[in-house]
Amino acid sequence: REAIEKLSELRAQLTESQKMDALGRLAAGVAHDFNNLLTVVIGCAELARAGGGEAPNATTELNEIMEAADRASALTRQLLAFSRKQVLQPQILDINQSVNSMAKMLRRLIGENIELVLDLKPELAAIRVDPGQFEQVVLNLVVNARDAMPQGGEIRVRTFETELSPAKIWRHGDLEPGMYVVLAAQDTGSGMSAETRERIFDPFFTTKAAGKGTGLGLSTVHGIVKQSNGFIEVESELGVGTTFLVYFPIAAEANASAGKGKSEQLPGGNEKILVVEDEAAVRKLMVTILTQQGYNVLEAADGEKALEMVDSIDKLDMLLSDVVLPGKSGREVADLVLEKFPDIAVLYVSGYTDDSVMRHGVDTGARAFLQKPFTRESLTQKVRECLDG
């Protein structure tokens, strides 16, 4: 009995050690990526400042900063998707259009010794998915295929539709049978063993050399696809190559909504908006953007200051508040503001994960929620949508 207890204790210690080792590899990979991105941001900002902000150099440097910030945001989304805590903002999407728009970037990413072939079904049905997360899926699958072919080869990205029967779908939990859109990424690499195939979606599992990857890529894909009510399968043969097949249910509202174009001009108005945000830089950014769009903007750093301000005004059209604030939460502030102005629009923003936001009484799936980091376009569109709603 004592020997069994000792063995159990040793197993627990080994498991804990493996967890710590995995977390260490993750931290190293993330720190490496973020340090590279911050180097670009800091360096380009210094160049722009040294040049006095004069075009054309300043424009180039600012574009580099924007691209680095986008990549940093994508890295954060990747970590959250891996843990399935990312707040998704799904919409009707034509994935052929998304893949085509990524083609130039993907070809640059895979290098000259690998050919990228797109085999996209014309007039493909639309799906409902977060566009940024879908791009993350494509990116990770293509990068994974590239890494499987160090000597070069071909990556074929296909899209098609298929009907899944109850017999086919039952292995994937409570998903519904019916029509699905499939994204397939096929490589001509060395293929995988059965053992590797079993572990390929495990967090931190990687066949790459130390420092070459965090092992988050495919577990990230798995997390995103699961959150989007889809599933993923892998077919592989040693010496032949590997194909990943990602299944998304066709969107019921696809015909009504697909193909709606974005307005080039950002929406604005003249309504009075109270912005409550404890991070000064973020608050300043929101106030600047909304003021530029014509809104009358008030600002407060916390709930107490916001409520004092509300007591002194006789008109308000919208409360735009962070969810997590010092003292009262954004939800608590909104409830009190609504007592005086019951007809105002309320929009919440947050950089926290889904479950953290939900714990503060805010539904991340609701229309009146915007996930950080947001763009100027997404902020102005969401504000206008809430005011008009």
Reported as a single tens digit per residue, the pLDDT across 84-131 is 555 567 889 999 999 998 888 788 778 889 999 999 999 999 999 988
Task: Answer with the residue of higher pLDDT: 367 or 140.
Answer: 140
242, exposed or middle or buried, with CB in 10 Å at 0-12, 13-18, 19+? buried
223, exposed or middle or buried, with CB in 10 Å at 0-12, 13-18, 19+? buried
Residue 309 CA from chain centroid, whole number: 35
In a domain, 265, yes or no: no
146 contacts 155 by C-beta, under 8 angstroms: yes
In a domain, 184, yes or no: yes
In a domain, 187, yes or no: yes
Considering the domain architecture, whether residues 293 and 342 belong to the same structural domain is answered as yes
Strands (E), the chain: 91-93, 114-120, 127-129, 153-164, 178-187, 231-237, 241-249, 272-276, 296-300, 318-322, 345-350, 369-371
pLDDT, tens digit (0-9, with 9 covering 90-100), for 321-362: 998 888 898 889 999 999 999 999 999 988 765 555 555 455
Considering the domain architecture, whether residues 74 and 99 belong to the same structural domain is answered as no
Considering the domain architecture, whether residues 219 and 101 belong to the same structural domain is answered as yes
pLDDT, tens digit (0-9, with 9 covering 90-100), for 55-90: 566 777 777 777 777 777 666 665 655 555 555 678
121 contacts 157 by C-beta, under 8 angstroms: no
In a domain, 118, yes or no: yes
Considering the domain architecture, whether residues 103 and 233 belong to the same structural domain is answered as yes
Considering the domain architecture, whether residues 349 and 211 belong to the same structural domain is answered as no
Q: Which residue among 49, 79, 109 closes a domain?
A: 79
113 contacts 152 by C-beta, under 8 angstroms: yes
Q: 320: which DSSP letter? A: E
Considering the domain architecture, whether residues 55 and 199 belong to the same structural domain is answered as no
Domain count, the chain: 3
- Residue 169: band (very low, low, confident or very high) from pLDDT cuts 50, 70, 90: confident
Considering the domain architecture, whether residues 135 and 65 belong to the same structural domain is answered as no
213: phi then psi, degrees, rounded to nearest 5: 180, 155
342: phi then psi, degrees, rounded to nearest 5: -70, -15
Judged against a pLDDT cut of 90, whether residue 222 lies above it is answered with no
Q: Where are the alpha helices (DSSP H) in 165-279?
A: 166-169, 194-199, 217-227, 254-257
Considering the domain architecture, whether residues 217 and 348 belong to the same structural domain is answered as no
Q: Report the alpha-carbon angle 165-170-176, nearest 5.
A: 60
- Residue 180: band (very low, low, confident or very high) from pLDDT cuts 50, 70, 90: very high
234, exposed or middle or buried, with CB in 10 Å at 0-12, 13-18, 19+? middle
Task: Answer with the residue of higher pLDDT: 218 or 383.
Answer: 383
Q: What is the mean pLDDT of the chain?
A: 78
Considering the domain architecture, whether residues 42 and 161 belong to the same structural domain is answered as no
Considering the domain architecture, whether residues 106 and 245 belong to the same structural domain is answered as yes
Nearest to 143 by CA among 76, 74, 194, 84: 74
In a domain, 331, yes or no: yes
3-class secondary-structure state, position 322: strand
Nearest to 368 by CA among 352, 388, 341, 351: 388
Which CATH number fits the domain that encloses residue 237?
3.30.565.10
Considering the domain architecture, whether residues 97 and 73 belong to the same structural domain is answered as no
Domain that holds residue 21: 2-79
In a domain, 263, yes or no: no
pLDDT, tens digit (0-9, with 9 covering 90-100), for 129-154: 988 788 888 988 998 899 889 889 99
For the entire predicted model, the pTM comes to 0.51
pLDDT, tens digit (0-9, with 9 covering 90-100), for 231-280: 998 898 888 899 999 999 998 765 434 444 444 478 889 999 999 998 88
In a domain, 267, yes or no: no
- Residue 208: band (very low, low, confident or very high) from pLDDT cuts 50, 70, 90: very low
Q: Which residue among 28, 53, 79 closes a domain?
A: 79
- Residues near 86 by beta carbon (within 8 Å), at least 6 away in sequence: 77, 80, 130, 133, 223, 224, 227, 353, 354
DSSP string, 207-233: -SPTTS--S-HHHHHHHHHHHTT-EEE
Q: Which residue among 188, 223, 257 closes a domain?
A: 257
In a domain, 178, yes or no: yes
Which CATH number fits the domain that encloses residue 54?
1.10.287
387 contacts 345 by C-beta, under 8 angstroms: yes
- Residue 25: band (very low, low, confident or very high) from pLDDT cuts 50, 70, 90: low
% pLDDT > 70, the chain = 69
| Angstrom distance (rounded) from CA 253 to CA 257 | 6
Which CATH number fits the domain that encloses residue 335?
3.40.50.2300
Considering the domain architecture, whether residues 114 and 251 belong to the same structural domain is answered as yes
